[in-house]
Chain A
Amino acid sequence: MAVGQIVGFCKKHKQFTAFFILSLFIAAVAVCAPFIATHDPYEAVISNVEQPPDANHWFGTDKLGRDLFSRVIYGTRTSLASSMLLVFVTFFVGSSLGILAGYFGGLADSVIMRISDMMISFPGLVLAIAIAGILGSSLMNAVIAIVAVSWTKYARLARSMVLRIKNKDYMSAAVLTGSRTGYILRKYILKMTMPILIVTAATDMGSMMLELAALSFLGFGAQPPTPEWGQMLNEGRAYLQNSPWMMFFPGLAIFIVVAIFNLMGDSLRDILDTGND
C-alpha cells in the first residue's frame, strides 16, 4: 500500500519528484565520491601545476597540481554534509526556542523574542563574519556563526504557529483531561508545527549552502587542504588570469547544486500551498 501511495504522490507532483531525484543524485555523488573521482583529491603533483582541462584532468589541475575534477566531486561531500548539519541545527535550535517561547509564554517568551529582535537588527552576514572570525576559522565555526544569525526565523515561525494552536478547543480539552505537558507538546504542538517547519528547512537548504560557501570563500570556513567549493574559489582567485578553470568549475558546481535544492524547495512549497486551499 505504501509503495502505491508513494507512486501516486510522485505521479501527482511530477515536478517535485524530478527535483527530488536530482537531489538524491547529488547525495549519491557525495557518497560514491571515491568511485567517481579519477584521482586522489589531496595528491599534489608539482610537475602538473595549473594544467588546463584535458582527457586526463577533466577540469584541469590547481596550483599544487591536484586534479580539480576529483576535488570538485569530493567537495560535494564537504558542502552537502556541512550544509545539512547547518540546516538541521538551525531548524532544531530555532524551532525548540520558538515552541518554548510560544507555549510557555511569560519570561521565556520575552527573553527569547527580545534576543531574536536584536539578532534581526544585524545584517546577517556582517554578524556571521564577526562570529566566525572571533571563534577562529574552521568549517564548524562557520556553521555555528550562521546558526547564530539564522535561528530567529524558525523561532518566530514556530512561535506564531504555537500561539495560533494554543487557543484551539482541542488544546483546552487536552489540558482539561489532565494531559501532561510533555504529551501535549509531542502529540499536538509538534505534530501541528513540524510539517511547515520542515518545509521551510528544505527550502532554506540552497541559500544556507550559499552562505556557507561565501564564508569559506572569505577564508572563514573550510581550511585547506579540505576540498570545499568556496575554499577552492578562494584559492583559485589569484590564478584567475592564467588558469580561469580553477574558478569556473567549483563555482559552477555550487550554482548547479544550489539551483537544484532551490527548485526542489520551491516545488515543495507549491505542493504545500495548494494543499492548504
Chain B
Amino acid sequence: MTKRKTAGRLLQFIIVLFGISFLTFCLIYLAPGDPVKAMYAANGSVPSEEVLKAMREKMGLNDPFLMQYFNWLFNCLHGDFGTSYSLNKPVVTVLLQRLWPTLKLTLFSMILMLAVSVPFGVISAVKRNKAADYIIRVFSFAGISLPGFWLGVMLIYIVALKLKLLPVISNDTGIKKLILPAVTLAFSMAAKYTRQVRAAVLEELHKDYVVGARTRGIKESTVYWAHVFPNALLPLVTLAGLSLGSLLGGTAVVEVIFSYPGLGSLAVSAVAARDYPLIQGYVLWTALIYMSVNLAIDLLYGILDPRTKER
C-alpha cells in the first residue's frame, strides 16, 4: 500500500469510528425510560422528584442533544466511559477486567478454527468430488446449520456431566476451562471457513497459470505448494479478520452457557439490568477491537501481497 492509500485508510477508520460513537450514543439516548430513574432503580432506591431533577441537571441530561454527545465523546476520549449503574464502578475498570478472558477465548478459538479449516478446506478442494471431499463437506454443512449454543450445552452434558472429562464450572480461566467454550465457538466458524478455503483453492486451481505450470511438467506438489496455496490463502487472511466479528459476537452466547467471566456475559447481564453506560462501553469497545484488527490486516496486506503496492 502506498503512503497515500494508508493515510486514506486511516482517515476512513477515524471517520467510521466517529460514526460508530454517534450511533452508540443515539442508541442509548433514544432508549425508552429515564436513565436517572434506571440508575436509582439499579441500586434499589426510589428517590423523590426533587432529587431526580437535581441529578438530571448534574448529569447534563437537560442539555441539548449534540452538546450531550460531545460531552460524552470528550469524556470517552479521556478514558471516562461513565459509571456502571448496576456495579457502581467505572465502566473502564469493569471492561478491562473482562477484556482479557474474552480475548483469550477469541484467540484460542481462532487458532482452533484455522487449524481445522485450512487443512480440511485444502484437502476438500484438492480431492474434489472424492470421498474425502464429500465427508468434509457434510461436516462443514452440519456445522453451519448447528446452533452454537445447543452444541455448547450438549458438550457440557456429554463431556463434563456424563464422561466427567472436564469440569463444568471452574473458578480459574486456565486451559481446561477454555477448551469447551473454544470448541463450541470454533465449530460453526470452522465450518463456514472450510467452505471459504475450499472455494478459494478451487478458484485458484482453475486459473491459467496452473494449467501452464502443469504443461511445463512441474511436479504436482510444487504446483500446489509454490503456486496455488500462497495465492489462494491470501484473500483468506481478510476473511479471517472478518470472521473475528462473528467470534466476538458469538462469545456472548458461549460465555453465558459456560458462565465464563468475559465481556459477552458481562454485556448480557448489563442488558438485563438496563445498565446503559456499560452497554455503551461494551458496544464501543468491541467495535473498536474488531475495526482495529481489520485495519491492521488491511495495512499488512501490502507486505503479504506486494502486488497491491503497485496498484
Residue of B nearest to A210 (CB): B147
B115-152 interface bits toward A, Cβ cutoff 8 Å, 1 = contact, 0 = none: 00000000000000000000000000110111111100
Q: A125 CA to B283 CA in the complex, in Å?
A: 10
Q: Looking at the assembled complex, report how far the CB atom of B224 sits from the nearest CB atom of chain A, in whole angstroms.
A: 26
| A197-227 interface code vs B (CB 8 A; 1 in, 0 out) | 0000000001100100110011110000000
Does any Cβ of B come within 8 Å of A44's Cβ?
A: no
Q: Across the interface, name the chain B residue whose C-beta is closest to A237.
A: B153
Asked whether A255 lies within 8 Å of B286 as measured between CB atoms, the reply is no
Q: Which of A127, A206, A248 contacts B145 (CB 8 A)?
A: A206
Interface residues of B in 30-55 (CB under 8 A from A): 31-32
Do B267 and A126 touch (CB < 8 A)?
yes
Determine, out of B16-24, B64-72, B172-180, the stretch whose residues face the partner at the interface: B16-24
> Among A56-64, A67-75, A115-123, A187-195, which stretch is in contact with chain B?
A115-123
Contact B245 A123 (CB under 8 A): yes
CB-CB under 8 A for A122 and B283, given A129-B271, A262-B141 = yes
Q: Is the CB of B147 within 8 A of A130?
A: no
Residue B213 is within 8 A (CB to CB) of chain A in the complex? no
Q: Bound state CA distance, A258 and B249, in angstroms?
A: 20
Chain B residues contacting A127 (CB-CB under 8 Å) are 283
Tell me whether B27 and A134 are in contact (CB under 8 A).
yes
Residues from chain A with Cβ under 8 Å of B20 in the complex: 118, 121-122
A206 to B145, CA, bound (A): 7
| Other-chain contact of B279, A134, A136, A218, A240 (Cβ < 8 Å) | A134
B30 nearest in chain A by CB position:
A134
Q: Is A123 in contact with B148, judged by CB distance below 8 angstroms?
A: no
Q: Is the CB of A259 within 8 A of B279?
A: no
Chain A residues, Cβ within 8 Å of B148: 210, 214
Residue B76 lies at the interface, judged by CB distance under 8 Å to chain A: no
Does B154 contact A214, Cβ atoms closer than 8 Å? no
Q: Which residues of B contact A262 (CB under 8 A)?
A: 141, 144-145
Q: Cβ of B16: which chain A residues have Cβ within 8 Å of it?
A: 117-118, 121
Q: Is B163 an interface residue (CB 8 A)?
A: no
Question: Is there a chain B Cβ closer than 8 Å to A241's Cβ?
Answer: yes
B250 contacts A by Cβ under 8 Å: yes
A133 CB-CB contact with B under 8 Å = yes
CA distance A130 to B142 in the complex (A): 29
Closest to A132 in B: B271
Render A232-268 as a binary contact track against B, CB cut-off 8 A, 1 for contact: 0100010011001001100100110011001100000
Q: Is B108 an interface residue (CB 8 A)?
A: no
Contact A130 B144 (CB under 8 A): no
Cβ A255 vs Cβ B267 within 8 A? no
The reply to whether A126 and B283 contact each other, CB–CB distance below 8 Å, is yes
- Return chain B residues, CB-CB under 8 Å to A240: 153, 156-157, 161
State in angstroms the CA–CA spacing of A115 and B256 once bound together: 31
Closest Cβ–Cβ distance, residue A247 to chain B (whole Å): 5
Contact with A along B240-268 (1 / 0, CB 8 A): 00001110111011001100000000011
Q: Which residues of B contact A86 (CB under 8 A)?
A: none
Q: Which residue of B lies closest to A258 (CB)?
A: B145
CB distance B141 to A258 under 8 Å?
Answer: no
- Contact between chains at A130 and B153 (CB < 8 Å): no
B282 within 8 A of A: yes
Asked whether, in the complex, the Cβ of B147 is within 8 Å of the Cβ of A258, the reply is yes
Given A124-B246, A130-B282, A254 contacting B23 (CB threshold 8 A): no
Bound-complex Cα distance A219 to B274 (A): 14
Query: Is there an interface contact between B252 and A255, defined as CB atoms closer than 8 Å?
Result: no
Task: Write the nearest CB–CB distance from B35 to chain A, whole angstroms.
Answer: 11
B window 253-311: CB within 8 A of A: 253, 256-257, 267-268, 270-272, 274, 276, 279, 282-283, 286-287, 290-291
Q: Is B11 an interface residue (CB 8 A)?
A: no
Q: Are A123 and B286 in contact (CB under 8 A)?
A: yes
Cβ contact within 8 Å between A134 and B31: yes
Q: A123-B287, A130-B267, A133-B271 are in contact. Are A244 and B157 (CB under 8 A)?
A: yes
Across the interface, B283 reaches (CB within 8 A) one of A130, A132, A213, A263, namely A130
Which positions in B face A, CB cutoff 8 Å? 16, 19-20, 23, 27-28, 31-32, 141-142, 144-150, 153-154, 156-157, 161, 244-246, 248-250, 252-253, 256-257, 267-268, 270-272, 274, 276, 279, 282-283, 286-287, 290-291
A-B contact pairs, 28 of them (CB 8 A): A114-B19, A117-B19, A118-B16, A121-B287, A122-B20, A122-B245, A122-B290, A125-B250, A125-B253, A126-B267, A126-B283, A130-B283, A132-B271, A133-B274, A134-B31, A135-B31, A135-B32, A214-B253, A217-B147, A218-B252, A230-B147, A237-B153, A240-B161, A244-B157, A247-B150, A258-B146, A259-B145, A262-B144
Residues on A facing B (Cβ under 8 Å): 114-115, 117-119, 121-136, 206-207, 210, 213-214, 217-220, 230, 233, 237, 240-241, 244, 247-248, 251, 254-255, 258-259, 262-263
Q: Apart from A123-B248, A134-B276, what 20 extra A-B contacts exist at CB < 8 Å?
A: A118-B20, A121-B291, A122-B245, A122-B286, A123-B249, A123-B290, A124-B249, A126-B252, A126-B282, A126-B287, A129-B271, A130-B271, A214-B149, A219-B272, A237-B257, A240-B156, A244-B157, A251-B153, A259-B145, A262-B141
